[in-house]
Amino acid sequence: MRKLTNSLAALLFFLTAVSCGDNHPQPKPRGYFRIDLPERQYVTLDTMSRYSFEYPAYAIITPDFYSPEEKDWANVEFPAFKGTIHISYKNVDNNLSDYVEDAYRMITKHITKATGIRDSVVVNADKNVYGLVYFLDGEGVASPLQFYLTDSTKHFMRGSLYFNIYPNNDSLQPVIDFITDDVRHLINTLEWK
């Protein structure tokens, strides 16, 4: 009986020692999927009647389905990132201030979610392209990048970047930065017709 008690005590001590190791399960920190960014290549969009520009080869140009009567409106879609730059175009006829005010109003709709709004002036006198690019900071901002471009007399173009997912701009920041460079290229290659 004493042997059995000693054996049980030894077994109990062994099981206790083995089960009390430092390998307690710990939850892993929340992570995000790896984002593979494509190599930059550009294609010229020359099918619009009022303007042309270069857009990324990994993007797709589609018409604006919600405004089919607007032939110079287009979407630059990034299927790999579930993002779209919505581009609208209007002829200027002594109403430039109305279009600029409308662009500003569209940006202020994001103020409730934005932690900051930065702007960058666009001046390309050689191509007669002027405007502003707005960068909207904040985790829940639906459109982190918007811009408008004009020649001040005939042409007005507005663009806004949206993602077809719940806005979490912390995890989307590498993609936002990548597409921002594509928007800069679009702006630098824009030519009015």
pLDDT tens for the chain, 193 residues long, are 666 677 766 666 666 666 655 666 677 666 666 778 999 999 999 999 999 999 999 999 999 988 989 999 999 999 999 999 999 999 999 999 999 999 999 998 888 888 999 999 999 999 999 999 999 998 888 899 999 999 999 999 999 999 998 767 677 889 999 999 999 999 999 999 9
HEC states along 61-73? EEECCCCCCCCCC
Q: Which of 189, 193, 192 minimizes the C-alpha distance to 44?
A: 189
pTM: 0.81
What CATH number is given for 42-192 in this structure? 3.40.1000
